[in-house]
Every structure is written in structure tokens, then in C-alpha cells.
Amino acid sequence: MNGGKESLNLKAKLGLNVFKENKNFHISVNPGKENDPRLFYAVLACPAGLYSVNDAGAVELSQDGCLECGTCKIICSDEVLTWRYPDGATGVQFRFG
């Protein structure tokens, strides 16, 4: 309903974190698994809101703001996602944690 407002809020929240650029995509959907129902679970469960449903009804994934929490890896399983940690010295760097 007010998803637009919340996600704006979420972007601002993620903007408070320290992220170091990671040039290699560390999460990708395996070929042929683009419509797996578990990807829709990730839309609900990703704390950073990085999974979203596009106009065509498919799940899209963005990696900007990834907290590396592992939720999508466990929900979607290795069958659906290729999930690696970002390279050393890249990705989120928590100052509080």
C-alpha cells in the first residue's frame, strides 16, 4: 500500500551505512530459476528490500545496500541463487554492528 514511501525511507536508512564498492556481483539468480516461487519470499524477507517485483511480474534483484545477512541465500537455496560474499575489503562495513 504505502510501499513506495517505506522503501524511500529504507533507502535513506541504508544510506547511513558505510559501503565499499564491490565491482563483482555477489548474488545472481541461476539460469532457468527466474520464476522460482522462493524469489517472491525474498521480496518479503530481505531486510534491505533489495528484491522487488517489476511491472512484468518478475522478481528483480539489486545489490546496492546489501547487508550480507544471508536471508535470501537460505530462503532461496543454492539451487536458485549463486551467493558469494563480496570480495575482501568491499561491501558493508559496520561501525556499530
Partner 1 sequence: MEEVRFNVIIIGGGLSGLAAAYTLAEAGQEVLLLEKGDYCGAKNVTGGRMYVSLIRDFFPAIWAKAPLERAIVQEELCLMSPGSSILIRYNDADIASEPYQSYSVCRAKFDKYFAKQAEKKGALITVKKKVDSLVFKDGKVDGVVAGGETLYADVVICCDGALSLFAQQAYLQKPLNPKHFAVGFKEIIELAPETLENRFNLLPGQGAARLYMGDVTEGKFGGGFLYTNKESVSLGLVLGLEALCQEEPRTKAPDLLERFKKRPEVAALIAGGQTAEYSAHVIPEGGYDHLSKLFGDGILVAGDAAGFSINAGITVRGMEYAMFSGYIAAWAAIKAAGTGDYSAESLSVYERMLADSFLMQDFKEYRHVTESLNHKRFFTYYPELAGKIMHGLYAMPNGPKARITPTLRRSVGVRNVPDMLLKDLPKVVKL
User: Which residues sit at the interface with partner 1, rule CB under 8 A?
Assistant: 3, 6-7, 9-10, 13-14, 16-17, 20, 41, 43-49, 67-71, 73-75, 77-78, 85-89, 91-97
Q: What is the closest distance, in whole angstroms, from the C-beta atom of residue 46 to partner 1 in the complex?
A: 7
State the Cα–Cα distance between residues 34 and 19, nearest whole angstrom.
27
**Residue matched to cell numbers 522503501:** 7
- DSSP letter assigned to residue 85: P
Taking the complex as a whole, the smallest distance from the CB of residue 37 to partner 1 amounts, in Å, to: 10
Distance CA 54, CA 17 (A): 26
Q: Helix (H, G, I), strand (E, B), or coil: what is residue 52?
A: strand
- The C-alpha cell at 51 is 528484491
CB of 57 to partner 1, least distance (A): 16
